[in-house]
Structure 1
Amino acid sequence: MTIRLNHTIVPAADNEAAARYLAAVLHLEYGGLHPVARHFAQLRINEELTLDYMTIPDAPGHHLAFDVDPVTFDAAVAHLRAHGLPHGDGPGTHTNGQVDERHPTGGRGVYFADPSGNLYELITSS
């Protein structure tokens, strides 16, 4: 049996702002509200996965970690730096402006939070 994650709901103070934020960092195209369930701001991560952001007052932040290729990683870090967006080398140090050059996976990692407090982690093998 094959099991894949199809989508996950990500709480946010402003669903469209949160979807646009991650789309900009990862150089993805934000497609707008879900065509049927219009209370979700849907961001397609890849062919198999969407993040469906839902506006929830006082939403608790989630941690989402993505394996990315080195080109995507470098482009995301460049975007964060070029736009003065806080990022860092650990979940507790996600605003120190550093990149983890010795991530536990053996590659590099970077953490950043969206305005709703969702904490993202990008991991690359090199």
Structure 2
Amino acid sequence: MAITLNHTIVPATHNETAARFFAGIMGLTYAGTVHHFAPVRVNEQLTLDFMTVDEPVGIHLAFDVDPATFDRILVRLEAGGVRYGSEPDDAGNGRTDHPLCARGLYFADDARNLYEVMSPA
């Protein structure tokens, strides 16, 4: 059997707020809490379990998406007034000229989690 990532815990200032934010930007569904987690299913193999912690330390999560999904994410970021950018050190420069792919961007949440979205075209 191949090794796949099943889930990871994402530290959050408030788990449900963070899960709704991420799901809304990425076009995913947030269905509510399960115990002390606010899970968001990314695909059939991966769930992000947002968990409220006292002092969240931001993590980095990177996602490959197709061009149409990238366009929809970009529209949602802009419509929501969420800062994004092409560099991890400057996630607010408003650019998508990513150094590793045709188009890419970074955006962050209030727990300093840095999300990277990359598209081949």
Identity %: 50
CA distance in 1, matches of 2:23, 2:45: 16
1:80 paired residue among 73, 77, 82: 77
Query: Counterpart in 2 of 1:60?
Result: 57
- Alignment pair present for 1:15 and 2:15: yes
Number of residue pairs the alignment of both structures matches: 121
Moved over 6 A (4+): none
CA drift at 1:14 = 0.5
The RMSD of aligned alpha carbons is 1.0
CA distance in 2, matches of 1:68, 1:57: 32
Query: Counterpart in 1 of 2:102?
Result: 107
Deviations 1:42-76 (A, max 9, x none): 00000110000110011100000000111111100
Q: How does the TM-score come out when normalised to structure 1?
A: 0.92
CA distance in 2, matches of 1:29, 1:2: 27
- Alignment pair present for 1:92 and 2:86: no
Q: How does the TM-score come out when normalised to structure 2?
A: 0.95
CA drift at 1:99 = 1.2
- Matched residue SS, 1:81: helix
Q: Which amino acid aligns with 1:103?
A: P
Deviations 1:60-119 (A, max 9, x none): 00000000111111100111111211111110010111112x431x32111000121100
- Matched residue SS, 1:17: helix
Query: Counterpart in 2 of 1:49?
Result: 46
